[in-house]
Amino acid sequence: SLEFVPGPVRGGEYRFEVGTAGSAGLVLQTVLPVLLTAREPSRLVLTGGTHNTSSPPFDFLQRVFLPTIERLGPVCRAQLVRHGFYPAGGGEFHIEIDPVQELGSLDLTQRVDWRVERVRALVAKLPLTIAERELAVSRDLLRVNADRCEAVAIDDSRGPGNVVMIELAAGDCRELTIGFGRRGVPAETVARDACAEAQTLIGSGAPVGEHLADQLLLPLTLGRGGRFATQAVSSHAATNIDTIAAFLKINVTRERRDDGLIEVGLSPAGA
C-alpha cells in the first residue's frame, strides 16, 4: 500500500539531479504543474539529459511548451547552461517561474498556416559534416533557404550527440519537429524523419502538434480547462486522459472535425 499525505506547495529554489543521461525535461514536467500556482516564485536547476530521444529536448521546452503554458498566466524563463546527450548526460538548464493564483484557460482550435522558421542541426564531438548533410536534405525537402539553416558544433557536451530541429511558426504559435542521430543511421535518414513529421504537421494545419497535445493535458485540468485541435490523439495522450480522469473530476471530449483535425476539450466537472 502507498499512503501520500501532501503538504502545502512551496515555491523557492530547487535542484534536481538525474544522475544519469535520463531526461531532465521530464523531471521539469513532473514538478512544473504544482509550481505554476505556488505562492512564491521558483528557480529550478535541473541536470541530466537535455537532448534525449523519446522525451522533449530543451529547445522544445523553451520554444514551444513553456510559451504555450504562459498563455495560462504564469511566466516561465528557461536558460540552457550545458548540453547533455545520451549516454553521457551531464547537461544542465535553469527555469524561473513566476506563478499565478489560478491558471486560466486555453483556446487553440483555429487552423494555422505553418511556415518553416529555421532548421538547426547540432553535433557534439562529431564531424560538422553530419549536420551539414542533414541541412542539405532539409533544404531540399522543405524548400527552405540556406539563410534559415544553421549547423552548430557544440563544445560544452560531455559526450557525442546529434540532433536536427525544424522550427515551425504561425503567428504566435511555434512547433518543433526533431530527429536524433543514432549509431548506424545515416544523417540523411535522421533529417528525412524530422522533415516528414514537419510536413505532416504543415499539411494538417493543426495548431497543436501530437507531442505538445499530450503535454498540455495535465496543466489544463489544473486550471480552467480549454480546447485545442491536433492532427492525432496518440496512445500516450489517450493514456494521460484516462489517468487524469482516474484522479480528477473532469469532462473530456474528443471530436473529429470536418477538416480532419481532432478537437480535445477539458473542463472541470460541473462547468
Q: What is the pLDDT of residues 179-235, one digit of tens each?
A: 999 999 999 999 999 999 999 999 999 999 999 999 999 999 999 999 999 999 999
Q: Beta-strand (E) ranges in 22-114? A: 42-48, 75-82, 91-98, 106-108
pLDDT score recorded for residue 180: 97
Which position among 83, 94, 211, 236 bears the catalytic label?
A: 236
Q: How confident is the model at residue 54 (pLDDT cuts 50, 70, 90)?
A: confident
Rg (CA), the chain: 19
Confidence of residue 16 (pLDDT cuts 50, 70, 90): very high
Does the pLDDT value for residue 271 go beyond 70? Answer: no
pTM of the entire structure? 0.94
Per mean pLDDT, which range of 97-101, 130-134, 136-140, 234-238 is the poorest? 234-238
Residue 236 designated active-site = yes
b/e per residue, 232-255, with b = 16+ CB within 10 A? ebeeebeebbeebeeeeebebeee
